[in-house]
Amino acid sequence: MHSIDHIGIAVNSLAEAVPIFAALLGQNPSAAQDVPAESVRLVFFNGSAGRLELLEATGDDSPIAGFLTRHGPGVHHVCLATSDLDSALRRAEAHGIEVIEPKIRTGADGKRVAFLHPRSTSGVLIELAERSA
Protein backbone atom coordinates (compact mmCIF):
# COMPACT_ATOMS: atom_id res chain seq x y z
CA MET A 1 0.00 0.00 0.00
CA HIS A 2 1.29 3.43 -0.95
CA SER A 3 0.79 6.58 1.07
CA ILE A 4 1.23 10.19 0.06
CA ASP A 5 4.78 11.26 0.83
CA HIS A 6 4.48 14.80 -0.52
CA ILE A 7 3.00 17.13 -3.09
CA GLY A 8 5.58 18.99 -5.19
CA ILE A 9 4.92 22.63 -6.03
CA ALA A 10 7.02 24.41 -8.66
CA VAL A 11 7.89 27.98 -7.67
CA ASN A 12 9.76 30.76 -9.41
CA SER A 13 11.68 31.61 -6.25
CA LEU A 14 12.05 29.87 -2.90
CA ALA A 15 12.91 33.26 -1.38
CA GLU A 16 9.47 34.54 -2.40
CA ALA A 17 7.41 31.37 -1.84
CA VAL A 18 8.78 30.15 1.51
CA PRO A 19 7.46 33.10 3.58
CA ILE A 20 3.98 32.62 2.08
CA PHE A 21 3.83 28.91 2.91
CA ALA A 22 5.47 29.46 6.31
CA ALA A 23 2.71 31.94 7.17
CA LEU A 24 -0.03 29.62 5.88
CA LEU A 25 1.31 26.55 7.67
CA GLY A 26 2.60 28.25 10.80
CA GLN A 27 6.01 26.63 10.55
CA ASN A 28 9.40 26.99 8.96
CA PRO A 29 10.53 24.58 6.24
CA SER A 30 13.40 22.14 6.31
CA ALA A 31 16.82 23.38 5.30
CA ALA A 32 17.09 23.92 1.56
CA GLN A 33 18.77 21.13 -0.33
CA ASP A 34 20.02 20.81 -3.88
CA VAL A 35 19.38 17.82 -6.11
CA PRO A 36 22.00 18.38 -8.83
CA ALA A 37 20.78 15.51 -11.03
CA GLU A 38 17.43 17.32 -11.40
CA SER A 39 18.84 20.88 -11.28
CA VAL A 40 16.53 21.85 -8.43
CA ARG A 41 16.71 23.38 -4.96
CA LEU A 42 13.93 22.41 -2.59
CA VAL A 43 12.48 22.67 0.88
CA PHE A 44 9.88 20.59 2.68
CA PHE A 45 7.09 21.61 5.03
CA ASN A 46 6.01 18.72 7.25
CA GLY A 47 2.38 17.91 7.87
CA SER A 48 0.47 15.15 9.61
CA ALA A 49 -0.91 13.76 6.34
CA GLY A 50 2.17 14.33 4.19
CA ARG A 51 4.59 17.06 3.22
CA LEU A 52 4.66 19.97 0.80
CA GLU A 53 7.78 20.29 -1.31
CA LEU A 54 8.63 23.63 -2.91
CA LEU A 55 10.89 23.28 -5.96
CA GLU A 56 12.99 25.99 -7.59
CA ALA A 57 14.96 25.43 -10.79
CA THR A 58 18.72 25.91 -10.51
CA GLY A 59 19.35 25.74 -14.24
CA ASP A 60 17.61 26.11 -17.58
CA ASP A 61 17.89 22.34 -18.12
CA SER A 62 15.82 21.62 -15.00
CA PRO A 63 12.48 19.84 -15.45
CA ILE A 64 11.11 22.52 -13.10
CA ALA A 65 12.34 25.30 -15.42
CA GLY A 66 10.52 23.63 -18.31
CA PHE A 67 7.37 23.19 -16.23
CA LEU A 68 7.42 26.85 -15.16
CA THR A 69 7.85 27.98 -18.77
CA ARG A 70 4.90 25.87 -19.94
CA HIS A 71 2.53 26.18 -16.96
CA GLY A 72 3.80 28.78 -14.51
CA PRO A 73 4.03 28.11 -10.77
CA GLY A 74 1.79 25.44 -9.31
CA VAL A 75 1.36 21.79 -8.44
CA HIS A 76 4.06 19.81 -10.24
CA HIS A 77 3.70 16.26 -8.93
CA VAL A 78 2.31 13.92 -6.31
CA CYS A 79 4.79 11.64 -4.57
CA LEU A 80 3.74 8.26 -3.21
CA ALA A 81 5.89 6.45 -0.65
CA THR A 82 6.58 2.77 -1.23
CA SER A 83 8.51 0.21 0.77
CA ASP A 84 9.82 -1.53 -2.38
CA LEU A 85 10.48 0.73 -5.37
CA ASP A 86 11.58 -2.11 -7.66
CA SER A 87 8.33 -4.04 -7.12
CA ALA A 88 6.25 -0.89 -7.50
CA LEU A 89 7.89 -0.17 -10.87
CA ARG A 90 7.39 -3.74 -12.09
CA ARG A 91 3.72 -3.52 -11.12
CA ALA A 92 3.32 -0.15 -12.84
CA GLU A 93 4.96 -1.37 -16.06
CA ALA A 94 2.87 -4.56 -16.03
CA HIS A 95 -0.18 -2.29 -16.14
CA GLY A 96 1.18 -0.26 -19.07
CA ILE A 97 2.26 2.75 -17.02
CA GLU A 98 5.23 4.55 -18.57
CA VAL A 99 8.27 5.05 -16.34
CA ILE A 100 10.42 8.08 -17.18
CA GLU A 101 14.13 7.37 -17.81
CA PRO A 102 16.33 7.00 -15.93
CA LYS A 103 13.92 4.68 -14.17
CA ILE A 104 15.53 4.91 -10.73
CA ARG A 105 17.43 7.96 -9.57
CA THR A 106 18.49 9.64 -6.36
CA GLY A 107 16.04 12.25 -5.10
CA ALA A 108 15.69 14.51 -2.09
CA ASP A 109 17.04 13.17 1.19
CA GLY A 110 19.07 10.63 -0.83
CA LYS A 111 15.97 8.47 -1.42
CA ARG A 112 15.62 6.16 -4.41
CA VAL A 113 12.87 7.62 -6.59
CA ALA A 114 11.20 7.10 -9.97
CA PHE A 115 8.74 9.16 -12.01
CA LEU A 116 5.68 7.91 -13.91
CA HIS A 117 4.77 9.83 -17.05
CA PRO A 118 1.58 11.92 -16.84
CA ARG A 119 0.32 10.61 -20.19
CA SER A 120 -0.13 7.21 -18.55
CA THR A 121 -1.37 8.43 -15.13
CA SER A 122 -4.42 10.57 -15.97
CA GLY A 123 -2.35 13.71 -16.54
CA VAL A 124 -0.57 13.71 -13.16
CA LEU A 125 3.20 13.33 -12.80
CA ILE A 126 3.64 10.67 -10.11
CA GLU A 127 6.88 10.26 -8.17
CA LEU A 128 7.47 7.01 -6.29
CA ALA A 129 9.87 7.33 -3.35
CA GLU A 130 11.26 4.40 -1.44
CA ARG A 131 10.81 4.75 2.31
CA SER A 132 13.98 4.69 4.34
CA ALA A 133 14.54 1.44 6.19
- Confidence class for position 29, pLDDT limits 50, 70, 90: very high
Residue type, 109: D
Kindly state the average pLDDT of the residues 3-15: 96
Q: Tell me: the pLDDT tens digits for 75-125?
A: 999 999 999 999 999 999 999 999 999 999 999 999 999 999 999 999 999
DSSP state of 99: B
Tell me the average pLDDT of the chain: 95
Contacts of 105 (CB under 8 A, 6+ apart): 37, 38, 112, 113, 114
CA distance 69 to 48: 32
More confident residue, 49 or 71: 71
Cα–Cα–Cα angle for 51, 99, 7, nearest 5°?
Answer: 15
- Written as one letter, the residue type at 10 is A
CATH code, 3-130: 3.10.180.10
Sign of CA dihedral 127, 59, 119, 104: negative
List the chain domain ranges. 3-130
- Which percentage of the chain shows pLDDT scores above 70? 98
DSSP at 73:
S
Per the DSSP assignment, residues forming a β-bridge with 79 are 6, 127
- Whether the per-residue pLDDT at 39 is higher than 60: the answer is yes
